[in-house]
């Protein structure tokens, strides 16, 4: 084998060795890859009314200790969903160091019991402090009948729209006694079996028989097959009047 043949064999191998050595030196001199792609920023949508951004930051503090690639978006979303005011949370990564959290909040329409709220889609949640929600209608009843009570509230609200009657309290004390307290002070009593049809009949006579004498009425009892009874305020006493037709 000639010297030229040896050069042809050795030189390429030496070049490959030098290239490998150079690459190793470069890799060793680079900082930790995880340091370069650590999560540094959390962006949260600005249109939040009830959720505190500081609360989200605190909850995500542990979750975001992972690097950009190993961070599980579902884990982050589940963590944010633990906040009572959060209806849903969508999370995505933005290269190289940012996590975007898009939160949809619950929209409360009524209070339920002593410490909970009901959302527009019927979900019950407990935000902790209800002081700012005293203006919402208060629904009271057995937890097992919550859906029925909520449905009746929604239907009654629609039926009485533009009538001047707005529900303040709906209390299902028993199947025979549902109490509706309106924001004008009027109390109406009916039974569960009468349901929405009796509310429709009541609306038809409200303007003529009830509204003009509202100041003197203690309550209206609709639990009669063909009419209703008005209980009148006389001083400190309540006196039941005669039965009046609903039709």
In this predicted model, what pLDDT tens digit does every residue of 11-48 receive, in sequence order?
555 555 565 565 544 444 544 544 557 888 889 988 89
Q: What is the mean pLDDT of the chain?
A: 84
Rounded average pLDDT over 163-188 = 94
Structure tokens at 88: 């849903």
Residue 219 confidence (pLDDT): 92
Residue 26: the pLDDT is: 47
Q: How far apart are the first and last CA of the chain?
A: 121
pLDDT the model gives residue 7 = 47
Is beta strand 138-140 parallel, antiparallel or unpaired with respect to 124-125? unpaired
Q: What number is the average pLDDT over the span 58-83?
A: 85
Lowest-confidence range among 125-134, 135-144, 195-204, 232-241?
232-241
Residue 1 has pLDDT above 70, yes or no: no
> What mean pLDDT comes out for the span 194-218?
90
Q: Grade residue 3 by pLDDT with cuts at 50, 70 and 90.
A: low
- All domains of the chain in start order, with CATH: 34-105 (3.10.20.310), 137-245 (3.40.50.11690)
Higher pLDDT, residue 172 or 6 = 172
Q: Kindly report whether the global pTM for this prediction surpasses the value 0.85.
A: no
CA distance 94 to 158: 45
Answer left, alpha or beta for residue 71, where phi above 0 means left and psi between -120 and 50 means alpha: beta
Binned at pLDDT 50, 70 and 90, residue 97 comes out as: confident
Q: What pLDDT band is residue 137 in, cutting at 50, 70 and 90?
A: very high
**pLDDT band for position 6 (50/70/90)?**
very low
Q: What is the pLDDT of residue 12?
A: 53
Q: For the residues 179-192, what does the mean pLDDT come to?
A: 94
Question: Does residue 207 have a pLDDT over 70?
Answer: yes
Predicted confidence at residue 102, as pLDDT, reads 95
């Amino acid at each position: 084998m000639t010297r030229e043949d040896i050069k042809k064999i050795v030189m390429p191998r030496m070049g490959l060795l030098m290239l490998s050595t150079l690459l190793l030196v470069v890799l060793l001199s680079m900082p930790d890859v995880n340091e370069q792609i650590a999560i540094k920023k959390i962006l949260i949508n600005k249109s939040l009314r009830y959720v505190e951004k500081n609360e989200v930051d605190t909850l995500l503090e542990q979750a975001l200790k992972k690097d950009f690639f190993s961070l599980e978006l579902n884990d982050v979303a589940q963590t944010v969903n633990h906040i009572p005011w959060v209806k849903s949370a969508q999370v995505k990564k933005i290269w190289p160091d940012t996590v975007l959290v898009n939160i949809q909040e619950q929209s409360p329409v009524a209070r339920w019991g002593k410490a909970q709220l009901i959302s527009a889609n019927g979900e019950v949640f407990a935000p902790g402090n209800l002081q700012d929600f005293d203006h919402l209608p208060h629904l009271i009843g057995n937890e097992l009948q919550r859906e029925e009570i909520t449905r009746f509230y929604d239907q009654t609200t629609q039926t009485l729209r533009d009538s001047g009657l707005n529900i303040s309290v709906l209390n299902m004390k028993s199947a025979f006694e549902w109490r509706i307290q309106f924001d004008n002070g009027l109390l109406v009593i009916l039974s569960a079996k009468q349901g929405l049809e009796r509310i429709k009949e009541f609306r038809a006579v409200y303007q003529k028989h009830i509204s003009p004498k509202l100041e003197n009425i203690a309550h209206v009892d609709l639990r009669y097959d063909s009419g209703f009874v008005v209980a009148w305020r006389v001083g400190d006493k309540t006196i039941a009047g005669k039965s009046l037709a609903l039709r």
